[in-house]
Chains A and B, each alone.
Chain A
Amino acid sequence: MIINGVTIDETFAEAFPMKATRIIITAQNEKWALIAAQAMTGFATSVIACGCEAGIDRTLSHEETPDGRPGVAVMIFAMGGKGLAKQLETRAGQCVLTSPTSALFAGIDSPTKIPLGKNLRYFGDGFQIGKVIGGKRYWRIPVMDGEFLAEATTGQVDAVGGGNFLVLAQSQPQALAACEAAIEAMNKVPNVIMPFPGGVVRSGSKVGSKYAALNASTNDAFCPTLKGATKTQLSDDIESVMEIVIDGLTKEDIDKAMRAGIQAVCDIGAAGGIKRISAGNYGGKLGSYHFHLQEIMA
């Protein structure tokens, strides 16, 4: 398959089941809601070493938030429910509770609940106040700038992590420009996050390593400087490869995001130095969800 001069490889991306939650952070204005959200989703690029993958789903107007203030929806993904709950509590406690004027609400409903403000309330040292409003429990925790309001729990849902595609370009600036365009398009798709810095990862990995202690290592087949030194997947005219990783609430959400992202890259096309779109395919070893690029773009 070739779109606008860009070859879409006949391959598939592998993704795996994860547990996810969505929360809403509000603040006095969007600037401070974003600051809290960015702090909370920092150092959350990959479950390999961060414990979770997190990102901003989208900003919310005051009409879309429970307390009528500007807000940001954040999604967090982890390999299991326990890990997710621990990461959520730690990050909410250190990054949202501490952020001026913030409040914290559940952003997704599910029969399975994980604590949000339920344990953070103990920061109130006995002065915290519980309130059940409209069937939901909230905690009001006195803090130095007033009161920190947090919903007691949020929903935990089954999700999919690790959807991806690779952008193969003639040069590094062209690969980055195409990825930036892809991320801009993918940010409009709901229920997905691209957890790496700016949504783009330049150090895609393969499963395993020559070093026993590591379970992932550089994807040498796509490293342009190793074209002559390893079993490469790159042709002579490719000098840079970048990857976009997608976590989503459902396989369909990732499908939509991948289609939007790949389309944005293809719109730049061969004229913009884009040669191929490929995917992190590990021979089916990594995950049970397979995203076939050509089917997505059909």
Chain B
Amino acid sequence: MNPITFNLKTQPKQRIDMSPLIPANLAGKKLDEISKIPLQCGKPLIPAGELFDISGEDAQNIVITRSFDKLDYIGKELDGGTITVNGDTGAYLGMGMKSGAITVNGNVGIFAGCEMKKGVLEINGDTGDFLGGALPGNKMGMKGGMIVVKGNVGARVGDHMRRGLILIEGNAGDYCGSRMTAGTIAVLGKTGRYLGFAMRRGALLLWNQPQLMASFNDCGAHTLGFLPLLFNSFKTIPSKFADPSLAFNRVQRYAGDMSEIGRGEVLVKI
């Protein structure tokens, strides 16, 4: 069976809410029924068929082609199945997703993977701010699952993150891991200012020495037994992180943020 493919006809001026186009909503529907699903495009509701050429029959696997940066809420609350996006996406990609996998072959807007609970988000490009974070006003960001980013990410990665894993092959912006409650963020590239700002618990795993705030205390150099397990779990991930030559178990450990409860840690490869 071929995946159900949404090929964008033209780029509208208004943003589109793509949240209805998930496997749970498409299952059992014929193409003409799917083409009638209303999508919020600016103020009006527009049938999906007017925005996209739709083909295919496998509702568990969705492909969006010719995507651009105004397609918001792709894979919102996704609960099983896969979504592949060719092109850029707007904000709130995979927001609150519960299971399944989303792959984006392009760049992604703000709040990608925010408040996601489970599943895998693979981004073959850059992302905006608040990757895996919490929505404004909310106190709990990503609660589980994994996000892999091949490019660079914006500021506030993992803001209020509670659990889960974020792997960043490129650089991370300012306030990486801000207000984290738990979870792990690994950054192969460089990190910005105010790393781990107000983090309570959780781990930031870095390959390059960061610029640390005064509220992070040096705990010395250590060989940590959990790191081989962690790197071993990366082996099947389609990412640079699977490369065993990047693994290490010897780190400089910094505890913080001491202006919070100080149970978080920044582990830097030595």
Give the size range of A's interface with the partner: 10 to 19
Please tell me if A140 contacts chain B, counting CB pairs below 8 Å: yes
Q: In the complex, which of the residues B184, B226, B263, B265 has the most CB atoms of chain A within 10 Å of its own CB atom?
A: B226
By secondary structure, the B interface counts as mixed
The residues in A between 104 and 130 inclusive whose CB is less than 8 angstroms from any CB of B are: 126-127, 129-130
B142 to chain A, nearest CB (A): 12
B166 to chain A, nearest CB (A): 13
CA distance A133 to B184 in the complex (A): 10
Contacts of A103 in B (CB 8 A): 225
A66 contacts B229, C-beta separation under 8 Å: yes
The residues in A between 72 and 120 inclusive whose CB is less than 8 angstroms from any CB of B are: 103
Interface string of B59-83 (1 = CB under 8 A from A): 0000000000000000000000000
CA distance A66 to B233 in the complex (A): 10
CA distance A130 to B181 in the complex (A): 11
Interface string of B230-270 (1 = CB under 8 A from A): 10110000000000000000000000000000010100000
CA distance A42 to B230 in the complex (A): 32
Please tell me if A36 contacts chain B, counting CB pairs below 8 Å: no
Chain A residue at smallest Cβ distance from B229:
A133
Interface string of A126-143 (1 = CB under 8 A from B): 110111111000101000
CA distance A103 to B201 in the complex (A): 22
Please tell me if B31 contacts chain A, counting CB pairs below 8 Å: no
Contacts of B222 in A (CB 8 A): 146-147
B225 contacts A130, C-beta separation under 8 Å: no
Please tell me if B203 contacts chain A, counting CB pairs below 8 Å: yes
Contacts of B263 in A (CB 8 A): 126-127, 129
A67 contacts B225, C-beta separation under 8 Å: yes
Please tell me if A197 contacts chain B, counting CB pairs below 8 Å: no
Once A146-B222, A146-B223 are accepted as A-B contacts, the answer to whether A129 and B229 lie under 8 Å apart by CB is: no
CA distance A127 to B262 in the complex (A): 10
Pairs of residues from A and B, 4 with the lowest C-beta to C-beta distance, nearest first:
A134-B233, A149-B225, A68-B228, A133-B233
Which residues of B come within 8 Å of A, CB atoms? Answer: 144, 163, 182, 184, 201, 203, 222-226, 228-230, 232-233, 263, 265
Which residues of A come within 8 Å of B, CB atoms? Answer: 66-68, 103, 126-127, 129-134, 138, 140, 146-147, 149
A/B interface sample: 10 pairs, CB < 8 A: A67-B226, A67-B229, A68-B232, A131-B203, A131-B230, A133-B229, A134-B229, A134-B232, A146-B222, A149-B229
